[in-house]
């Protein structure tokens, strides 16, 4: 029998425990897949005496990174410790020591992916990161292998389970943001500090990774226009429903004539759009290719076993490459120079909710402003408000316009005498444009 492929694991939290469980429980299937046994050599932990939820020989636990990174018996390093700088240092050391690496670290790959991939290629090592985006959904392998022959023009999706859970409960149960966030934290769907999720940063990191791979260009995190969900209200969702839309936090990456746009923000989707029915903590990514047309990847976006499944799938690929002697050859550098769209080139429809004075001339002033910018209304609703002064609530969905034009309109509305308050505004997406 061929010698066992030995794995070192950096971190033994929820995901690391899931990896060990799958490797231990699926030995027969793994042996069938790769023709070699796979064993756990060492696992880096902070405290060897801490009680564990997964069965593992205590002798395999270590508090010294060198026991994995400089161990000549370890072939593959799996990084599930989280964080950025320390994880980067460890992965760089592993690659320089000719060890293949599998990581689930989206923050790391969004910030240092290009550097790590170059070091991996220089050392003929594999570096795989399927689990860094959308948990157990094989979206990265889908882009780099399944759709490798196509030219991807657009990717849009729900890539953060925490925010999708919050927006689903607000929409379906009419509860406010703060109440649902507290519930999500109690259930373990949201961190005690939810900033990365609710401000859209987690989703932005994932979209930077997807855009880099899907468009074969070097997209940085700062290239992503980001807006979170903290200002979304149940009133907004009610109006969306009345107009035939659902409000979701959407990651969107578009490429047109070589120029790209990447954004994460709350968006209105038609209620018959495939992403509109993706609820709770589930993730989904809609991909458009010139040849294949439309495809969608759907499934659990987080959790111990779904994420661990993606990690072990990457591990299987590493071992298959090891058997064939082709490690490091699947890493490719970006093909195209990055060209971002300007605000004048980014086009969309917009939802706008205003409180205005209910008096003669108000509607004329509003329509004149939009007409000056050559922007027409697709939908318009108006209701009286019960306040001391005569006032009305106006909800508008515009026809397609550029982001630059819409920002001019928005700024002008803030300074109009007839406008009492701008309650909310969101982008509207209907699919491939």
Q: Is residue 112 part of a domain?
A: yes
Q: Is residue 215 part of a domain?
A: yes
Q: What is the pLDDT of residue 388?
A: 62
pLDDT, average across residues 197-226: 94
Please say if the pLDDT value at position 288 is more than 60. yes
pLDDT, average across residues 94-109: 95
**227 and 95 together in one domain:** no
**77 and 144 together in one domain:** no
Q: Where are the alpha helices (DSSP H) in 325-399?
A: 362-372
DSSP string across 136-169: T--HHHIIIIITTTS-EEEEEEE--HHHHHHHHH
376-391: pLDDT as tens digits: 999 999 888 876 678 9
Angle at 6 between CA 5 and CA 12, to 5 degrees: 135
Q: What is the pLDDT of residue 366?
A: 94
**38 and 168 together in one domain:** no
413-422: pLDDT as tens digits: 999 999 999 9
Q: Is residue 214 part of a domain?
A: yes
Can you give the residue range of the structural domain that contains 227? 139-300
347-359: pLDDT as tens digits: 999 999 999 998 8
Query: What percentage of the chain carries pLDDT values higher than 70?
Result: 97
Q: Is residue 336 part of a domain?
A: no
Q: Which residues pair with 348 in a beta bridge?
A: 401
Q: What are phi and psi of 412, to 5 degrees?
A: -65, -40
Please say if the pLDDT value at position 433 is more than 50. no
Query: What percentage of the chain carries pLDDT values higher than 90?
Result: 75
Q: Is residue 14 part of a domain?
A: yes
Q: What is the pLDDT of residue 211?
A: 94
**273 and 165 together in one domain:** yes
**Residues designated catalytic:** 206
**17 and 71 together in one domain:** yes
Please say if the pLDDT value at position 430 is more than 90. no
pLDDT, average across residues 313-341: 88
Q: What is the pLDDT of residue 90?
A: 98
**112 and 179 together in one domain:** no
Q: Is residue 433 part of a domain?
A: no
DSSP 222: G
E strand intervals along 358-431: 377-385, 391-398, 401-402, 419-428
**279 and 145 together in one domain:** yes
37-49: pLDDT as tens digits: 999 999 999 999 8
Do 7 and 40 touch, CB atoms closer than 8 A?
Answer: yes
The CATH number of whichever domain residue 190 belongs to comes to 3.30.360.10
Q: How confident is the model at residue 330 (pLDDT cuts 50, 70, 90)?
A: confident
What is the overall mean pLDDT for the chain? 92
**272 and 146 together in one domain:** yes
- The count of structural domains within the chain is 3
**129 and 148 together in one domain:** no
Q: Is residue 339 part of a domain?
A: no
Do 390 and 348 touch, CB atoms closer than 8 A?
Answer: no
Q: How confident is the model at residue 432 (pLDDT cuts 50, 70, 90)?
A: very low
What is the distance between the alpha carbons of residues 339 and 357, in angstroms, rounded to a whole number?
A: 44
The CATH number of whichever domain residue 309 belongs to comes to 3.40.50.720
**143 and 287 together in one domain:** yes
pLDDT, average across residues 110-115: 90
Q: What is the pLDDT of residue 187?
A: 84
Do 91 and 77 touch, CB atoms closer than 8 A?
Answer: yes
């Amino acid at each position: 029998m061929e010698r066992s492929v030995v794995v070192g694991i950096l971190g033994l939290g929820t995901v690391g425990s899931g990896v060990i469980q799958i490797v231990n429980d699926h030995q027969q299937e793994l042996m069938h897949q790769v023709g070699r046994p796979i064993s756990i050599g060492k696992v880096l932990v902070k405290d060897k005496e801490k009680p564990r939820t997964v069965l593992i020989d205590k002798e395999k636990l270590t508090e010294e990174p060198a026991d994995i990174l400089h161990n000549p018996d370890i072939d593959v390093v799996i990084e599930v410790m989280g964080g950025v700088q320390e994880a980067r240092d460890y992965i760089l050391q592993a690659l320089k020591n000719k060890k293949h690496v599998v990581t689930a670290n989206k923050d790391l790959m969004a910030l240092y992916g290009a550097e790590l991939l170059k070091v991996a290629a220089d050392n003929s090592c594999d570096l795989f990161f399927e689990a860094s985006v959308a948990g157990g959904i094989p979206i990265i392998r889908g882009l780099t292998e399944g759709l490798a022959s196509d030219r991807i023009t657009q990717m849009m999706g729900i890539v953060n389970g925490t925010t999708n859970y919050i927006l689903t409960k607000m929409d379906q149960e009419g509860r406010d943001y703060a109440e649902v966030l507290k519930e999500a934290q109690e259930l373990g769907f949201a961190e005690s500090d939810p900033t990365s999720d609710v401000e859209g940063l987690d989703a932005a990191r994932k979209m930077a990774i997807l855009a880099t791979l899907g468009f074969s260009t070097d997209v940085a995190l700062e290239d992503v226009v980001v807006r979170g969900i903290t200002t979304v209200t149940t009133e907004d969702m009610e109006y969306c429903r009345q107009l035939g839309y659902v409000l979701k936090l959407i990651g969107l990456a578009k490429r047109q004539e070589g120029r790209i746009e990447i954004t994460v923000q709350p968006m209105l989707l038609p209620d018959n759009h495939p992403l509109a029915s993706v609820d709770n903590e589930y993730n989904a990514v809609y991909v458009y290719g010139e040849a294949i047309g439309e495809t969608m990847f759907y499934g659990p976006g987080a959790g111990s076993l779904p994420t661990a499944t993606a990690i072990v799938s990457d591990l299987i690929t590493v071992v298959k490459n090891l058997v064939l002697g082709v490690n490091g050859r699947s890493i490719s550098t970006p093909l195209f120079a990055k060209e971002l769209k300007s605000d004048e080139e980014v086009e969309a429809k917009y939802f706008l909710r205003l409180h205005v004075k209910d008096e003669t001339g108000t509607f004329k002033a509003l329509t004149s402003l939009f007409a000056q910018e050559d922007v027409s209304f697709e939908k318009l609703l108006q209701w009286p408000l019960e306040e001391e002064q005569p006032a009305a609530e106006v909800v508008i969905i515009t026809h397609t316009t550029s982001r630059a034009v819409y920002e001019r309109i928005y700024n002008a509305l803030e300074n109009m005498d007839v406008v009492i308050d701008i309650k909310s505004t969101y982008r509207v997406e209907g699919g491939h444009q």
